[in-house]
Amino acid sequence: MANKTGRHYNVGNHKGIKRNPESIRMGAESNKKGKYFKCLTCGNEFWRQPSAIKKGQNKYCCRTCYFQSEQNKSKKPHVSEIRKKAIGVLSPSWRGGITPENIKIRMSADYKIWREMVFQRDNYTCQKCGDRTKPGHYVYLHAHHVKHFSQFPELRFDISNGITLCKKCHYKEHSNGNYVA
């Protein structure tokens, strides 16, 4: 096949010509760096470049053989299943149950429900200054115990013992009015 200049496209190009595997091994291929390996699945011999050998790609001749070997392997348990078994004393990061009781209660589902119920009752508005979140103005709300959390354990989850305060008013409440913004 010739182009406009009269030159042939495929001159010197040996596309499609199959070479004997022995001549490949003995000829120019012997100058290349790399090695021949035997496939662990099918037993075929294949050649790999040094870069592929460094990556460890010298066990299987093709993806089909690799996936076939993966199917034959036993399945490892999923990470979530392993973590479920490593809770509490069985966890490698267990330090003897040192979490204070106060933090356990404040992180509990009951406490989160109590806090949300107090916010809903007060319509997400600070009961001291009347501030609330508006477009362009965010107010961080706290659920404050009217009667102290530590002194009245029976009232910890009583909704009538809670009041919604903004962050500034809540700090003023605990610092006896000495809060500096």
pLDDT, tens digit (0-9, with 9 covering 90-100), for 28-77? 555 678 888 999 889 998 888 888 888 888 888 888 988 888 887 777 77
Tell me the residue length of the chain: 181
Please check whether residues 67 and 107 belong to one and the same domain.
Answer: no
Structural domain boundaries enclosing 47: 21-72
Q: Where is average pLDDT lowest: 8-22, 98-112, 138-152?
A: 8-22
pTM across the whole model: 0.49
Mean pLDDT on 7-21: 59
Residue 93 lies in a domain: no
DSSP annotation of 6: S
Query: How far apart are alpha carbons 123 and 164 in whole angstroms?
Result: 9
Residue 165 lies in a domain: yes
**Within 13 Å of residue 37, how many CA atoms lie on the same side as its CB?**
18
Contacts within 8 Å (CB) and 24+ apart, 133-142: 139/166, 139/167, 140/166, 140/167, 141/165, 141/166, 141/167, 142/166, 142/167, 142/170
**Segment 67-116, tens digit of pLDDT:** 888 887 777 777 777 777 788 788 888 888 888 888 989 999 999 999 99
Residue 25 lies in a domain: yes
Residue 2 lies in a domain: no
Mean pLDDT on 117-146: 93
- How many Cβ atoms from other residues are within 10 Å of residue 24's Cβ? 13
173 three-state secondary structure: helix
Looking at every residue in the chain, the average pLDDT score rounds to 82
Query: How far apart are alpha carbons 181 and 171 in whole angstroms?
Result: 10
Number of domains in the chain: 2
Residue 148 lies in a domain: yes
Residue 1 lies in a domain: no
Query: How far apart are alpha carbons 62 and 112 in whole angstroms?
Result: 55
